[in-house]
């Protein structure tokens, strides 16, 4: 019953791809799929293949569990993306008719259902539809769905009784699962299903921006702090448990059983971007980058043919990527994120061009009343040298903001070879360069990338006495195939020297970390299972690879966290 959403995500990804890489064959296929979608639409605007062909008697009977509005949301996003990429209204007109149908069924007016989706998504999609069409009613419908959530009497209780079910039979046992346990402005902890939470918070930030709603913005700030200081993995992965595909309790972050769903990390990137749109603050972009390079990029194999649904931080070797899933939400979600990556690399205001992420690319921005083209050349994340050519159509005065990542302790900037004093130019973690820019001006950014040892908060039981390795935005891990000793015997003392090397023929070309660790020795443990004396150690060489690249070779153990002492 959620299949429509995956078709829609493919349509969105394909449309976004057409915007930057025109392809007549792909465009023809998109047009063919849109024609099929349009044929499935009812005369009254309703559009859902499951409730048309399989279960037509139960349309709009179970918003809590049955994904109708969720599927609608993804189709709306596809319609907006297709229109903006191609200028065609074929899918946009379909989704507008569907939204008009939805708006007639749901709302606060007499005769309407005061419902909302158990899986938030349509709320952020309606904001995109508002931007594509300029129709205020779509924005108002989004606000209704967000504001109605969690109000009493609880809609999910009412609809359960209407279909002859006892609300107490809800399998999740709590409406925290779908973030409807209380009205959104009264939610201060990140709970429940991780993907649902991220999509809801993204919509809340969209509405905070559109309506100038300081209360919604403040709520999201509280939720962000709670997530990033108590419930997030070192990789940027979120969601501890497979039982609810989401959160458990503060500091409960086990490694081998980590769920860390790919779609949740993608949703975290969506939310971070929306926070950045209202507050160009480094802490949001740092997490956006962390999730992108680690918990998102790990989800796809190096050949692009297999995927992770869950992204654990430790494995015995049995967790491997799959070509597809019964619930295939993650692969098309990855496709649409990668196809829209420019929206996360760059941002703009009337006065400033902003670079959030350092990725070789060209971006065209509307700043100072004209198009400003930024061209990044870089080998990031393997080294911290980034060259940006600034090309306004005409000489103009505006600001250029460049993020100095939180992991970077030393940075330098030059403009046309002239060193810039950063002391007075840093604003919330971004260096702001305001000048009269000429076509062809060149900015060079140097970010130091030493190897860092990370420790976990004392309340994270799973990681106590252990360290994780980071270089630049990348978290590293050890795979068994690179070591001569079993991973569970390795200890990395604090004083152990580590070096970084680029290996062009390994995993598509990666920087690896090498050093000497200690391995627990079992040579004198014959016929002994326990004894007062600890095992001796012997030196052994270790190699660490970027976490995102694990499980691309022969199956074997992997771990991110290493004991720091025997």
CA 77/CA 335 separation, integer angstroms: 14
Average pLDDT over residues 83-101: 98
Instruction: Report CA-CA distances (Å) from 290 to 155, 216, 394, 408, 475.
Output: 37, 25, 36, 13, 8
**Residue whose tokens read 């509405």:** 207
**Predicted local distance difference test score (pLDDT) of residue 69:** 98
> Which range marks the domain in which residue 393 is found?
346-447
d(CA 518, CA 509): 27
- 213-265 pLDDT tens trace: 999 999 999 999 999 999 999 999 999 999 999 999 999 999 999 999 999 99
Number of structural domains in the chain: 4
381-426 pLDDT, tens digit per residue, is 999 999 999 999 999 999 999 999 999 999 999 999 999 999 889 9
In sequence order, the 6+-apart residues with CB closer than 8 A to the CB of 171 are none
Res 167: pLDDT: 96
Residue-level pLDDT at 494: 87
- Span 308-338, pLDDT tens digits: 999 999 999 999 999 999 999 999 999 999 9
Does residue 231 fall inside a structural domain?
Answer: yes
Rounded percentage of the chain residues whose pLDDT exceeds 90: 99
Regarding whether 463 and 435 lie in a shared domain, the answer is no
Whether the CB-CB separation of 8 and 77 falls below 8 Å is answered with: yes
Has residue 122 been placed in a domain?
yes
Contact partners, residue 328, CB within 8 Å, separation at least 6: 6
173 has a pLDDT exceeding 70: yes
| Residues with Cβ within 8 Å of residue 289, at least 6 apart in sequence | 356, 357, 405, 473
161 and 33, same domain (yes or no): yes
Is residue 233 within 8 Å of residue 194, measured between CB atoms? no
**245 counts as catalytic:** yes
21 and 118 within one domain: yes
Residue 495 confidence (pLDDT): 86
| Cβ neighbours for 32, distance < 8 A, ≥ 6 positions apart | none
Name the 3-class secondary structure at 544: strand
**Tally of CB atoms within 10 A around 255:** 21
**Can you read off the two tokens belonging to residue 299?**
């989800």
Residue 300 has pLDDT above 90, yes or no: yes
For residue 267, the domain's CATH number is 1.50.10.20
277 and 203, same domain (yes or no): yes
Handedness of CA 545, 335, 140, 102 (dihedral sign): negative
Same-domain status, 38 and 118: yes
Q: What is the largest CA-CA distance in the chain?
A: 81
Domain-embedded: residue 181 = no
Per the CB < 8 A criterion, the answer to whether 85 and 61 are in contact is no
The verdict on residue 32 lying in a domain is yes
| First vs last C-alpha separation in the chain | 52
What percent of the chain stands above pLDDT 70? 100
Q: Exactly one of 329, 330, 408, 477 is catalytic; name it.
A: 329
pLDDT at position 565 over 90: no
Q: Name which of 90-94, 232-236, 265-269, 492-496 the model is least confident about.
A: 492-496
Flag the least confident range among 119-123, 483-487, 493-497.
493-497
Position 566 pLDDT exceeds 80: no
Within this chain, do residues 211 and 336 fall inside the same structural domain, yes or no?
yes
163 and 35 fall within a common domain: yes
Calculate the alpha carbon distances from 556 to 18, 223, 473, 478 in Å: 39, 37, 25, 10
Q: What is the mean pLDDT of residues 342-348?
A: 97
Q: What is the dihedral of CA 201, 202, 207, 212, to 10 degrees?
A: 90
For 214-244, letters b (16+ CB in 10 Å) and e give: eebbebbeebbebbbebbbbbbbbbbbbeeb
Q: Which of 12, 123, 159, 245 is catalytic?
A: 245
Same domain, 244 and 263: yes
Mean pLDDT of 422-439: 96
Residues 215 and 317 in one domain: yes
DSSP 329: -
Residue 110 lies in a domain: yes
From 340, 355, 375, the end of a domain falls on 340
Is 70 exceeded by the pLDDT of residue 65? Answer: yes
Q: Clarify whether 71 is annotated catalytic.
A: no
Computed over every residue of the chain, the mean pLDDT equals: 97
* Distances from the Cα of 219 to the Cα of 183, 185, 326, 386, 505, angstroms: 11, 6, 35, 36, 47
In the prediction, which pLDDT does 436 show? 98
Residue 150 forms part of a structural domain: yes
pLDDT of residue 88: 97
116 and 147, same domain (yes or no): yes
Residue 182 within any structural domain of the chain: no
Q: Is 441 in the same domain as 456?
A: no
- The reported pLDDT for the residue numbered 56 is 96
442 and 324 both lie in a single domain: no
């Amino acid at each position: 019953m959620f299949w429509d959403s995956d078709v829609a995500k493919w349509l969105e990804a394909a449309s976004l791809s057409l915007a930057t890489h025109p392809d007549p064959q792909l465009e023809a296929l998109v047009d063919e799929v849109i024609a099929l979608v349009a044929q499935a639409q009812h005369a009254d605007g309703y559009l859902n293949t499951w409730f048309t062909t399989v279960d037509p008697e139960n349309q709009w009977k179970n918003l809590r569990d049955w994904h109708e509005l969720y599927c609608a949301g993804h189709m709306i996003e596809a319609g907006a993306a297709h229109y903006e990429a191609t200028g065609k209204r074929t899918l946009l007109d379909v989704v507008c008719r569907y939204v008009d149908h939805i708006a007639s069924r749901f709302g606060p007016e007499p005769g309407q259902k005061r419902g909302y989706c158990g899986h938030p998504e349509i709320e952020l999609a309606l904001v995109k539809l508002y931007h594509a069409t300029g129709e205020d009613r779509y924005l108002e419908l989004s606000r209704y769905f967000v504001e109605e959530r969690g109000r009493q009497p609880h809609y999910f209780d009412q609809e359960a009784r209407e279909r002859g079910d006892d609300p107490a039979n809800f399998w999740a046992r709590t409406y925290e699962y779908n973030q409807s346990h209380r009205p959104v402005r009264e939610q201060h902890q990140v709970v429940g299903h991780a993907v649902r939470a991220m999509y809801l918070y993204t919509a809340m930030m969209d509405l905070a921006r559109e309506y100038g709603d300081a209360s919604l913005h403040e709520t999201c700030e509280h939720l962000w702090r709670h997530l990033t200081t108590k419930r997030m993995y070192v990789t940027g992965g979120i969601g501890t448990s497979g039982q609810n595909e989401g959160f458990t309790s503060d500091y409960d972050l086990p490694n081998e059983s980590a769920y860390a769903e790919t779609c949740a990390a993608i949703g975290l990137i969506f939310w971070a971007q929306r926070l950045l749109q209202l507050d160009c603050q480094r802490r949001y972009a740092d997490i956006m980058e962390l999730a992108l390079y680690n918990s998102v990029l790990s989800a796809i194999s190096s050949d692009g043919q297999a995927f992770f649904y869950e992204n654990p931080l430790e494995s015995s070797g049995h967790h491997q990527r799959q070509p597809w899933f019964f619930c295939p939400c993650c692969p098309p979600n990855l496709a649409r994120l990668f196809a829209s990556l420019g929206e996360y690399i760059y941002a703009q205001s009337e006065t400033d061009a902003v670079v959030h992420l350092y990725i070789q690319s060209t971006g065209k921005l509307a700043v100072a009343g004209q198009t400003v083209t930024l061209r990044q050349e870089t080998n990031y994340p393997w080294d911290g040298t980034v060259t940006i050519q600034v090309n306004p159509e005409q000489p103009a005065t505006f600001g250029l903001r460049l993020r100095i990542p939180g992991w970077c302790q030393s940075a330098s900037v030059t403009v046309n070879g002239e060193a810039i004093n950063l002391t007075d130019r840093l604003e919330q973690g971004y260096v702001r360069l305001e000048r009269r820019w000429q076509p062809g001006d060149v900015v060079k950014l140097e970010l130091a990338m030493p190897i860092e040892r990370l420790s976990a908060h004392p309340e994270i039981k799973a990681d106590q006495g252990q360290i994780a390795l980071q270089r630049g935005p990348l978290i590293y891990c050890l795979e068994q195939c690179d070591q001569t000793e079993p991973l569970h015997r390795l200890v990395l003392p604090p004083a152990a020297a580590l070096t970084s090397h680029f290996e062009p023929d390994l995993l598509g070309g990666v920087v690896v970390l090498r050093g000497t660790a200690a391995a627990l020795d079992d040579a004198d443990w014959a016929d002994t299972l326990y004894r007062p004396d600890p095992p001796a150690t012997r030196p052994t060489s270790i190699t660490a690879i970027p976490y995102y690249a694990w499980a691309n070779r022969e199956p074997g153990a992997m771990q991110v966290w290493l004991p720091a002492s025997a």
